[in-house]
Chain A
């Protein structure tokens, strides 16, 4: 497969990645304890918060998966981007969930569980969160490897594995040493490079293909299903509602977003970060959708073997490969290097945030409480760093050497839903309803695991043709119902410090 990627592009990428690692290394001198390591001393103001929020949420996995959605479904998937933006805007405006959490001064969601419901709920919730989160990022490296393969035209799997291993080592290098401070600084740089790179790539793609050609090709090939989100081929109303719920969850319940609220300097900064970040929450889907649509038009027009391979009879990961292969053929040398550097930034900024997030949850919310909270700050810091390395080793094995058979989206959605369906009920009801009890919280967290029934083979066995989004919405409704029911049936004994945080 041909590509415009040259040695100049490779040099641009290598210099950029080394500069990022050096910046992260510089930050280590400011880390004196867990507060600096996990939430950057709670000193992040709004503009920097927005940059890091977008920098970490606009990950390469999102770019790859979203481009695939745009490639297969056309403009109809734009409603997902709108839902994500509107959800972030409403959360910033109302302060729903995130402002009470910042007011309490917690670093993680399970820490809230303990404040509100007791230590055992924190340990259970922390374990479920970390396991779901680590599994959820299990395929990030695979997506990164596919991107590198598509854009550079490399086909040797060993070379690709070596490149991905070097990148994860680079991320480890600065995250282990500088913690959230390194993440904030490097995310800022990555936000600037990535945003400009993606905007330039979009301009180039639309300018080259022509807007009329893009819309005409999508309409001719996909029909109404290519533009109408309520079309039955796109899942109908149920899918639109499920995506709207995911918009709320990814902004207000997913720990890697919430940790930004916890790092903010004030409640006002939390609101501003979410309101300004709402465009970023939309754009992180919209731009990859557009690139995926452009790739579809590009390979449709190309005809021949490329049309057969990517559009007519895609095999395995081919539709994931389509967008990077398209960029490799469209962009000129030099510009391609800058865009690839931006995309690999997305890969690194998501990894650093997620590694820090899940390791701090395991340290603060599972291991430290099991030790009766007697771990010294120094021991916690060391433990968090060791866990970061252990998670990275697991990811390397899982993503590159384990033969995963599941569909990428099924895998991502189900592993995430194991946590967020229960967590949404516990957070939303626990923060705003005085009578919510620890029994209700445990029931809701356990109920969240029902989301695993949405996985393709299990769903078909149990529910026949019922679509996955109905199973997901059902799991959310069940978690909320269990939370209310068990809270009413098994209320907590009155406590001196009892009360809602809202």
Chain B
């Protein structure tokens, strides 16, 4: 197997995986962001 074949496979695999991660993390991150603000707001209410 040539180096070029290896790098082509690496690049293609990484791009596909990254695309999947972008989708998953974008959706999951939005949910985490909402949870973060909820907890901070509750902590603020507790302090008050």
Contact status B32-A47, CB under 8 Å: yes
Contact status B25-A276, CB under 8 Å: yes
Contact status A51-B40, CB under 8 Å: no
- Given A199-B19, A279-B14: A184 and B36 interface contact (C-beta under 8 Å): yes
Query: Roughly how many angstroms separate A282 CA and B18 CA in the complex, as a whole number?
Result: 9
- Given A82-B10, A276-B25: A48 and B3 interface contact (C-beta under 8 Å): no
Query: Roughly how many angstroms separate A303 CA and B32 CA in the complex, as a whole number?
Result: 50
Q: Is A436 an interface residue (CB 8 A)?
A: no
Measured between beta carbons, the chain B residues less than 8 angstroms from A184 are 36
* Complex: chain A residue closest to B38, CB-CB: A43
Contact status B32-A195, CB under 8 Å: no
Measured between beta carbons, the chain A residues less than 8 angstroms from B47 are 32
Contact status B7-A51, CB under 8 Å: no
Contact status A228-B29, CB under 8 Å: no
Select A280's contact among B18, B27, B30, B32, beta carbons within 8 Å. Answer: B18
Query: Roughly how many angstroms separate A142 CA and B39 CA in the complex, as a whole number?
Result: 39
Measured between beta carbons, the chain B residues less than 8 angstroms from A30 are 37, 40-41, 44
Contact status B10-A78, CB under 8 Å: yes
Stretch in A185-193, A367-375, A395-403, A444-452 touching the partner:
A185-193
Measured between beta carbons, the chain A residues less than 8 angstroms from B37 are 30
Measured between beta carbons, the chain B residues less than 8 angstroms from A286 are 10-11, 14-15
Measured between beta carbons, the chain B residues less than 8 angstroms from A47 are 24-25, 27-29, 31-32
> Using an 8 Å CB-CB cutoff, how does the interface string of A26-68 with B read, 1 for contact, 0 for none?
0000101000100011011111111100100000000000000
Measured between beta carbons, the chain B residues less than 8 angstroms from A219 are 4
Contact status B36-A48, CB under 8 Å: yes
Query: Roughly how many angstroms separate A38 CA and B24 CA in the complex, as a whole number?
Result: 26
- Given A30-B40, A43-B40, A219-B4: A290 and B22 interface contact (C-beta under 8 Å): no
* Complex: chain A residue closest to B28, CB-CB: A47
Select A48's contact among B2, B11, B32, B39, beta carbons within 8 Å. Answer: B32
* Complex: chain B residue closest to A202, CB-CB: B15
Query: Roughly how many angstroms separate A215 CA and B14 CA in the complex, as a whole number?
Result: 18
Contact status A48-B14, CB under 8 Å: no
Measured between beta carbons, the chain A residues less than 8 angstroms from B8 are 211, 215
* Complex: chain B residue closest to A230, CB-CB: B3
How distant is B45 from chain A, measured CB to nearest CB, in Å? 12
Select B25's contact among A50, A181, A282, beta carbons within 8 Å. Answer: A50
* Complex: chain A residue closest to B35, CB-CB: A45
Measured between beta carbons, the chain B residues less than 8 angstroms from A195 are 18, 22
Contact status A283-B18, CB under 8 Å: yes
Contact status A43-B18, CB under 8 Å: no
Contact status B32-A282, CB under 8 Å: no
How distant is B14 from chain A, measured CB to nearest CB, in Å? 5
Contact status B22-A75, CB under 8 Å: no
Query: Roughly how many angstroms separate A228 CA and B22 CA in the complex, as a whole number?
Result: 30
Select A228's contact among B3, B26, B27, B35, beta carbons within 8 Å. Answer: B3
Contact status B25-A44, CB under 8 Å: no
* Complex: chain A residue closest to B16, CB-CB: A279
How distant is A269 from chain B, measured CB to nearest CB, in Å? 10
> Using an 8 Å CB-CB cutoff, how does the interface string of A149-189 with B read, 1 for contact, 0 for none?
00000000000000000000000000000000100110010
Measured between beta carbons, the chain A residues less than 8 angstroms from B30 are 188
Query: Roughly how many angstroms separate A39 CA and B7 CA in the complex, as a whole number?
Result: 38
**Given A41-B40, A75-B4, 17 more pairs with CB closer than 8 A:** A43-B40, A44-B36, A47-B24, A47-B32, A48-B36, A51-B29, A54-B25, A75-B3, A78-B10, A81-B10, A81-B14, A181-B40, A185-B33, A191-B26, A195-B22, A279-B14, A286-B10
- Which 3 A-B pairs rank lowest in CB-CB distance, beginning with the nearest? A47-B28, A48-B32, A227-B3
| Chain A contacts to B: CB under 8 angstroms | 30, 32, 36, 40-41, 43-51, 54, 75-76, 78, 81-82, 85, 181, 184-185, 188, 191-192, 195-196, 199, 202, 211, 215, 219, 227-229, 276, 279-280, 282-283, 286, 290
In the assembled complex, 24 residue pairs joining A and B whose CB atoms fall closer than 8 Å, in A order, are A30-B41, A41-B39, A41-B43, A47-B24, A47-B28, A48-B28, A48-B32, A50-B29, A54-B25, A75-B3, A75-B7, A76-B3, A81-B14, A85-B14, A191-B29, A192-B22, A192-B26, A202-B15, A276-B25, A279-B14, A279-B21, A283-B14, A286-B14, A290-B11
